[in-house]
Amino acid sequence: MKGARVLRFGVVGLVNTGVYYVLYLLFLRVAPYLAAHLAAVLLSMVGSYFLNCFFTFRTAPTLGKFLLFPLSNATNFVVTSIALYLFVGIAHLNKVVSPLLAAVVSVPITFVVARAILVGRTRAAIEMPEKPG
């Protein structure tokens, strides 16, 4: 069921965001905000991979998928980094709250990319057919 998968993705996203955020706050004590962001993203990515394999998409983890999974997180990293810069650097929002706002912006894009990598483009296309034009 597509709805259940999206819900599971949301749960994994919340857990991963919590892990990321705790790491971000820890690294923020010793590094600038973008460096703290990068370190937290890289470390939380591994847990996200396994949670998404086992819980969200119910697929076996493989070395190939593990090596490709950073592509979905690269999308997430780019979107959250741009959003973080816009929120903190341009809009002068709080640098402690801004990563959470950036995460919300990135969720839909990350889901589509992660599904394509972990489930496959063919299965993902079958689950979400294009709307007639």
Report the pLDDT averaged over residues 88-99.
94
Reduce the DSSP state of residue 92 to 3 states and report it: coil
**pLDDT tens for each residue of 100-127:** 899 888 877 888 888 899 988 655 444 4
Please report whether residue 133 resides in a domain. Answer: no
In a domain, 47, yes or no: yes
How many angstroms separate the Cα of 63 from the Cα of each of 8, 60, 122?
Answer: 23, 10, 20
The answer to whether position 132 is within a domain reads no
- Does the residue 69 lie in any domain? yes
Could you report the per-residue pLDDT of 56-75, keeping only the tens digit for each? Answer: 999 999 999 989 998 887 88
Say what the pLDDT of residue 106 is. 85
If one counts the domains in the chain, the total is 1
* Domain encompassing residue 74: 2-127
